[in-house]
Chain A
Amino acid sequence: MEQDQRTIVGVYHLSKTFGKHFSLHDINLQVANGEFVFLVGPSGAGKSTLLRMIYMDDVPSSGQVVVGPHVSTRMKRGTIPELRRRIGIVFQDFRLLDDRTTFENVALALKVAGAGPAEVKHQVTDILMRVGLYHKRYDFPHELSGGEQQRVAIARAVANRPSVLLADEPTGNLDPVVTRSILELLFKINAGGTAVLMATHDLDLVRSFGQRIIYVESGRIMKDKDMIYVGDLREKIAGSTVSEKADRLKDRDITGDGGHRR
């Protein structure tokens, strides 16, 4: 699959079944270089499953995922580490190593990529200063607040300057104030050229930022073309319930292919 060079992540006719249950059905989306995209939907919609397909923690039942030069249908297991080094991943539960300091947690990402000690020290210092946690470099995760732990996780995720950052409910465990600060950090990273695809169930949170929103429900995606289009819809969907918003997006048939409901 040759995709547009401006596209960093492409998902093409992707479906995923677990037994007879369709977790994802005919998903199509592309994320451009440097783009910021919110993946929104209720719990169980398939957001996390979609992200797992992108960083190839599981294989699609059909269809294809393309990340840079990596194509899911042609990839060997041995090249997955290389893919993962091009992608930064952030989780709701942070996934820091409890027996390592802030510095060591971030340094691990550089070490697995083969960086030498001097480079590790330089890069980690730089990243921690950018996320505002240099003064906590010797602290262990249990000594950090939730927001600080997520900042460390983000620092680790961007340590190797990935092309895209995947964030799976990164603010799910955080209070509104901290949530806002994490989002600002993600926007800052995006401003530096890294594409960001962030999954969240909180539509109210994200609609105020004016970024592209892809809405997912029951494993199906609301296919959208561009931010401007979504911007047109904002006034129409504001104030509606989540399902009503989804119905309105579906009614507009934004792909022009007569998208149907299963």
Chain B
Amino acid sequence: MTMISRRKAANLISIVIMGLSLLILGVFLLVTLNVQAVIDKAGEEMRIYVYLRDGTAAAAARDIQMRLLRLEGVEEVVFVSREEALTSFRQALGGNKDMLDALESNPLPDAYRVKIKPEYIRSEYMATLSSEAGKWTGVEEVRYGERWLARGEKLVKGFYLADLAIGVIIFLSVVFVIANTVRLTVLSRQKTIEVAKLIGATNAYIRIPFLVEGALQGAVASLLAVGLLALIHLFAKRYLPGVLFLRGEVLGAFVAFCVLLGAVGSYGAMRRFLKV
């Protein structure tokens, strides 16, 4: 193998190693993105049900609705009649809906289905709203699945902490791998640098090609990682049709970060090891 083809092979290996490291980071970002989407969706579907007492007059019911709408964290209030509620219940029962035929009358009350703004979906706020609304005249009961919400919040908090820790570890590992790979590239060109210095090349003249090479390696490696990530995403969509991919600006930032990392890694290696 000639020197040039050996160098090309070494370059290719460096790019593949960097690309695979970046792929791990990319997969991590993808998982985080999709879990976040699931959390957001769960939050969007969170509803508080304000059940009205039987016999509450229409005017009183409207008053309750207005009071709910005036609350800061409330986004939408929709009236659900007892008849609509029974229909929904029958649909939810599916094959067991015949059980309802035994009922002589509709036991379900009228209710208001309250949609909360996403930033207000917290146990404390929901508990406070529920407690306050529960005292209003005409309100029988307020429900929002408090046990599930509390459990969900713990899970989400745990997820964020784990996500942050894993993210930091992966990030640092990727930085280390890329910096080391670029360092080895620079070290392998030590002779070139020494000769260039002996014949009168300035530090800038020597440094610039290495910075460009480091940046290019970072760019190609990141594009390789993005390509592989897209393939993984395509495969995952077969089993999870709603799985999201990273947005354009995130991908752009990812590539830009890798370009910068490659250039900085190259600069650092030259400075430290070759005193350029």
The answer to whether A99 has its CB under 8 Å from any CB of chain B is yes
- By the criterion CB–CB under 8 Å, are B3 and A112 in contact? no
Closest Cβ of chain B to A37, distance in Å, is 21
The answer to whether A81 has its CB under 8 Å from any CB of chain B is yes
Contacts of A82 in B (CB 8 A): 200
In the complex, what residue of chain A is closest to B206 when comparing beta carbons?
A112
* CA distance in complex: A81, B199 (Å): 8
Contact among A81, A97, A98, A140 for B202, CB-based, below 8 A: A81
Contacts of A84 in B (CB 8 A): 197-200
The answer to whether B7 has its CB under 8 Å from any CB of chain A is yes
Given contacts A97-B191, A97-B192, contact A109 B199 (CB under 8 A): yes
The answer to whether B240 has its CB under 8 Å from any CB of chain A is no
* CA distance in complex: A97, B7 (Å): 13
In the complex, what residue of chain B is closest to A98 when comparing beta carbons?
B3
The answer to whether A95 has its CB under 8 Å from any CB of chain B is yes
Contacts of B7 in A (CB 8 A): 99
Contact among B2, B195, B203 for A95, CB-based, below 8 A: B195
Q: Which of A83-110 contact B (CB under 8 A)?
A: 83-85, 89, 95-99, 108-109
Interface residues on A, range: 20 to 34
Contacts of B191 in A (CB 8 A): 95, 97-98
* CA distance in complex: A157, B205 (Å): 18
* CA distance in complex: A85, B196 (Å): 11
Given contacts A97-B191, A97-B192, A112-B205, contact A140 B199 (CB under 8 A): no
* CA distance in complex: A95, B197 (Å): 12
Binding site for A on B (CB under 8 A): 2-4, 7, 191-192, 194-203, 205
Top 10 A-B pairs, shortest CB-CB distance: A85-B200, A84-B200, A112-B201, A98-B3, A99-B3, A81-B202, A81-B200, A109-B199, A99-B4, A95-B195
